[in-house]
């Protein structure tokens, strides 16, 4: 697909969109493509709140509870990086798992260990946005109300991109679902979610998905 002009708008090629989505850590592409039921619920919510007469904007996403739950689950299962920014031990006499932690020691927090801890989460290995809907599990992604998932770190060294990142992930997922039908590609019926570290954590094997444009009014 090449760049093309439509009225005053430029429609970006898939290669550009793929790069942008990787930068925003939207591995939800894989989770969406692997789960038709999840996809249908996301699309239904977008249609209920926005329809197909205009693109979703960032203000719309705040009113979509399932989309917000999806983004939280995405960040729980696929944090942007393995480790938080380095913190320092400031309290004398600290211990961790029986080890003495000297004052001013550098501390790097391995994020997946927290977000998939069975002591903290029900069915931690499953991708299930429903866990964050009303009456389900709760999580403060800033870590201020307890450490259960901190995809952007915590404390004074929390990532300054938290607000922008979560907003853009929600917007991009909503627009992807609004504009396209997603399904598993015949050559990759079972997705491999093994990852690797580049600038952020990315899928080790590039996603192959069947994508069909929807009939939209804009």
Radius of gyration of the chain from its Cα atoms, rounded to whole angstroms: 19
pLDDT at 207 (0 to 100): 78
pLDDT at 124 (0 to 100): 94
3-state helix, strand, coil in the chain (%, to 5): 35, 15, 50
Q: Tens digit of pLDDT for each residue in 132-163?
A: 998 778 778 888 878 899 999 888 888 888 99
* Domains, the chain, with CATH or none: 15-213 (1.10.630.10)
Q: Tens digit of pLDDT for each residue in 34-56?
A: 567 898 999 999 999 999 999 99
* Under 8 Å between Cβ of 128 and 73: yes
pTM of this prediction exceeds 0.85: no
Q: How far apart are CA 184 and CA 209, in angstroms?
A: 5
How does DSSP classify residue 129?
G
pLDDT at 49 (0 to 100): 97
pLDDT at 182 (0 to 100): 87
pLDDT at 18 (0 to 100): 52
pLDDT at 5 (0 to 100): 41
pLDDT at 186 (0 to 100): 85
* Under 8 Å between Cβ of 49 and 60: yes
Q: Is 159 annotated as a binding residue?
A: yes
Q: How far apart are CA 41 and CA 194, in angstroms?
A: 26
Cα distances (Å, whole numbers) of residue 77 to 1, 71, 127, 187, 215: 31, 10, 7, 25, 32
pLDDT at 32 (0 to 100): 54
Phi then psi for residue 53, to 5 deg, are -90, -15
- What's the sign of the alpha-carbon dihedral 142, 147, 148, 152? positive
* E strand spans, the chain: 4-6, 9-11, 87-88, 94-96, 99-101, 106-107, 180-184, 195-197, 201-203, 209-213
pLDDT at 33 (0 to 100): 53
Q: How far apart are CA 190 and CA 170, in angstroms?
A: 25
pLDDT at 154 (0 to 100): 87
Could you tell me the two tokens for 108? 């790097």
Identify the helix (H) or strand (E) that includes residue 115. helix 111-115
Regions of the chain short of the pLDDT cut 50 = 1-13, 15-16, 19-20, 23-29
pLDDT at 47 (0 to 100): 97
pLDDT at 144 (0 to 100): 82
């Amino acid at each position: 697909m090449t760049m093309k002009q439509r009225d005053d708008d430029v429609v970006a090629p898939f290669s550009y969109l793929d790069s942008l989505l990787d930068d925003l850590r939207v591995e939800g592409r894989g989770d969406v493509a692997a789960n038709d039921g999840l996809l249908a619920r996301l699309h239904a919510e977008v249609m209920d709140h926005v329809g197909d007469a205009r693109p979703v904007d960032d203000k719309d996403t705040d009113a979509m509870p399932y989309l917000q739950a999806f983004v939280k689950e995405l960040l729980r299962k696929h944090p942007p990086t393995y480790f938080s920014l380095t913190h320092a031990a400031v309290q004398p006499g600290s211990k961790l798992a029986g080890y003495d932690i000297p004052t001013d020691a550098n501390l790097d927090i391995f994020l997946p260990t927290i977000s998939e801890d069975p002591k903290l989460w029900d069915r931690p290995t499953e991708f299930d946005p429903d866990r964050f809907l009303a009456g389900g599990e709760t999580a403060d992604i800033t870590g201020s109300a307890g450490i259960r998932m901190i995809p952007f770190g915590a404390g004074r060294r929390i990532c300054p991109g938290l607000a922008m990142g979560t907003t853009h992930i929600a917007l991009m997922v909503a627009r992807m679902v609004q504009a396209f039908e997603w399904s598993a590609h015949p050559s990759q019926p079972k997705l491999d979610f093994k990852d690797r570290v580049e600038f952020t954590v990315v899928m080790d094997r590039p996603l192959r998905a069947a994508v069909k444009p929807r009939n939209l009014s804009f």
